[in-house]
Amino acid sequence: MPTQVVEIHVPLLPAPGLADGAYPFPWIDQVEEFLAGLEDAGEAEVFDDGEEDGDVYVFFVTGAGTDRLLTVASRVATLPGVPAGTFAVVSDDEAEETGTGRRVALPHR
């Protein structure tokens, strides 16, 4: 039976106002730390390592129902520094490629 996965797609945009030579995507580490904290608290599980996919960076969460996972995705989308335009895709672990599933605008209500 497939395992539900929610993909969190964040536009791969550099953070504004960075010093020359600074890592352009500090929000990736911020989101990874945030998701690790939720995993430690038992709220959701990180399904796989995040990955660059075209013009977005994708984080994967599982381990809870759809509503809770979309709440997690919404919390990610509203973290300070996370680029606007973040969205979720409700999928499963048997999807042949990233982005296959129901697209959900974030923050989810």
Q: Tens digits of per-residue pLDDT, 92-107?
A: 999 999 999 999 999 8
Q: Which residues contact 22 (CB under 8 A, 6 or more apart)?
A: none
Does residue 88 register a pLDDT over 80? yes
Domain that holds residue 76: 4-15+23-105
Q: What is the pLDDT of residues 16-71, one digit of tens each?
A: 888 888 999 999 999 999 999 999 999 999 998 999 999 999 999 999 999 999 99
98: CATH: 3.30.70.260
- 32/97 Cα distance (integer angstroms): 21
Q: Which residues contact 98 (CB under 8 A, 6 or more apart)?
A: 7, 51, 53, 58, 89
DSSP H helical ranges for the chain: 26-40, 66-77
DSSP H helical ranges for 10-100: 26-40, 66-77
Q: Could you give the number of structural domains in the chain?
A: 1
